[in-house]
Structure 1
């Protein structure tokens, strides 16, 4: 006898791991890890595209002086950022690791080893080993960085953060889009489970009469063997037993269409056209992807480099910048058409263009001018006409007097 307040104990059907995981994903109760997110092809492809592009663009150090920017080529920091970080990772591996943590973790972190205000090496640190200890002041924010319990100050680390609100750690795409990523991941798990079960459908047995405990146990054991993906296992339904399917098949659920839709939505997170991932993108689509997906990341990195790798006395006159003109080398025809316009408009010289193409200079310092051109120097207010080989200073002209009316001397 059970009292009314006693809970009735019922036999529960065991829930498979795949059903439990998929249900949690649909209810928003599961959090995808970075390792699980990288199993999704669209996420892996988008991160690889951004990381590969960033690692290919050289970083240069400039000094703004007398209204122009002079490139600094003999600085050790430039070599650390582009070639050898003096760590186990080279520059390409260094940036790829930072970009992955930038999107999938709390941010990309690299320890800056200094020797007497000189940057000696850069050491990538996995974001899982980073802990942030912040103060409670919402205005004058401050924090310390802990690595394996050791305390570091903010300027000890190069920090590449996404959508950060405190400057200490960023927000990953997993936090912002957990439901979408979770559904995409669990769809792969669901598809894997279908393959393991050989495509057998889930359902339940209807019986016209009550079965004994021995019959139920034998039926369950036979059913488990059937789902073990063994072709020799069969289930024989006696008279009075009928199988009722309880879920749709993979065709009815349109798994392929759902996977494509999820991939398209994930590409929107990275601002990357789907054709980039498919390998069918046009030159215009690639340019749009570079502007929308790559340039914002480059700007984040430039700000971090200017803040952490420059001395206080260098800030204001020195700055780091990615040499994005290297990305124009992908299309030969468009590149040479741009060079032609630059020469004809006297925007660039021949040797400047040869330098961009990594070709030796020809020593040509002149630019082409048409004889019908009139040249004006705003500093001296002097006008020169090559066709007539005449010069005239505007400041010496009287009011209402035309240059053509004056006798050439």
Structure 2
């Protein structure tokens, strides 16, 4: 099959769900085009939310673990760990790499990175802009398969690390510019309208009504005067002669409640990213809540992609990738210390285990506190120990004597 036959020209049809605006002002404000990646990133709430989540993901180390006898053992010296956390082997470092991948994950068809393998060993990871990636799918709805094309070169799916949002075929994802196109377009056009008002000095649009016919020279002079007024480059005054009246044809940003609409739109964008509006606005919030609702679900997507594409077939099942989210979920110092106190009092944690969780040096304490009021029972040996009296007793099965009426017992 030739390359020209791989792609079929599709007929563009109008969306039946497209809303038509008859009012000229609404059409100019809301527009009629599709939301694009560039439009979405122009909206501060969108770009800020993506950067906030990307900062959390990029700042959390990725580790490789081996599962042995039900225990997770870290594999620290694998060269792939360095590629994901420090140097990718590309012009982007690991922090820039994750930011670019996550940005394409939300606003494009997915995040794509080429896996450079030399004799089966992964040497480097190379981020590829999603706009440079084309997908050639097969026609089987059950046994799905596809090729990835970059600048005309055909690659197999295992050649790329893929982060896909709400994908249905494992090849491309669904960006927020498609799922939330109207919201992004409204926010973007609102910014454009504000820019227009600023450039025009905040003056309203309108038209002039004259009681008598003006000659061409008078009309040209009047047009130039209004052009200078709307240029916002100098202080200009327009003098209307007798019989000429100005009629407004638009509202100001205050009358249109643009500021209130921006706040409402910010709340809607916060729902998309699962981030509170306070954190979206830059106010410090609960880091653990941000991690649980926004960052960790994305980390799970990344972990599945790493387990699929960055592990050899013989390693799958015994090795796995995971983010170290311990620091994200610690909570505040008061919450952690209250939990540690409960754990110590209940004797299911020791002092050195608490110090290890807080990255402190162990004291070498192995004892467990026991109260003298407690009675200890060992179900394996059926023995009872009473610390208060320092006595050990063996529990044997005995018939329980229950007195009955008339002096008889069972």
Q: Is the shorter-chain TM-score for this pair beyond 0.5, marking a shared fold? A: yes
- Range moving further from structure 2, 346-355 or 31-40: 346-355
Q: Does 1:269 align with 2:272?
A: yes
For residue 126 of structure 2, give the secondary structure of its aligned residue in structure 1.
strand
User: How many angstroms does 1:54 deviate by?
Assistant: 0.8
| Partner Cα distance (1:297, 1:126) in 2 | 19
Equivalent residue in structure 2 for 1:116, among 108, 114, 119: 119
Equivalent residue in structure 2 for 1:172, among 172, 175, 184: 175
User: How many angstroms does 1:307 deviate by?
Assistant: 0.8
CA contact (8 A) 2:39 2:185 kept: no
Query: C-alpha offsets along residues 279-327 of structure 1, whole Å, 9 cap, x if unaligned?
Result: 44543xx433322212211111111111111111221222111111111
Counterparts in 2 of 1:46-61, with a 5 A limit?
46-61=49-64
TM-score, normalised on structure 2? 0.84
C-alpha change, 1:92 and 1:365, in structure 2 (3 Å) is farther
Counterparts in 2 of 1:220-235, with a 5 A limit?
220-235=223-238
CA contact (8 A) 1:328 1:335 kept: no
Query: C-alpha offsets along residues 102-151 of structure 1, whole Å, 9 cap, x if unaligned?
Result: 11111111111122322222111111111111111111111111111111
Equivalent residue in structure 1 for 2:135, among 132, 137, 142: 132
C-alpha change, 1:349 and 1:153, in structure 2 (3 Å) is farther
Show structure 1 runs of 5+ residues with no match. Answer: 1-18, 403-409
Aligned to 1:405: none
TM-score, normalised on structure 1? 0.84
C-alpha change, 1:87 and 1:240, in structure 2 (3 Å) is same
Q: Higher helix fraction: Structure 1 or Structure 2?
A: 1
C-alpha change, 1:333 and 1:117, in structure 2 (3 Å) is same
The number of residues matched between the two structures is: 376
| Partner Cα distance (2:183, 2:386) in 1 | 67
User: How many angstroms does 1:53 deviate by?
Assistant: 0.8
For residue 310 of structure 1, give the secondary structure of its aligned residue in structure 2.
coil
User: How many angstroms does 1:375 deviate by?
Assistant: 5.0
Aligned to 2:325: 324
Q: Does 1:335 align with 2:333?
A: no
Q: Does 1:39 align with 2:39?
A: no
CA contact (8 A) 1:135 1:142 kept: yes
| Partner Cα distance (2:80, 2:215) in 1 | 79
| Partner Cα distance (2:400, 2:66) in 1 | 46
Q: Say what the alpha-carbon RMSD is for the aligned residues.
A: 2.6
Give 4+ residue runs of structure 1 displaced > 6 Å after superposition: 19-22
For residue 362 of structure 1, give the secondary structure of its aligned residue in structure 2.
coil
Aligned to 2:199: 196
| Partner Cα distance (1:41, 1:164) in 2 | 26
| Partner Cα distance (1:133, 1:109) in 2 | 15
Equivalent residue in structure 1 for 2:376, among 370, 374, 377: 374
Equivalent residue in structure 1 for 2:248, among 245, 249, 257: 245
C-alpha change, 1:92 and 1:188, in structure 2 (3 Å) is same
Aligned to 1:385: 385
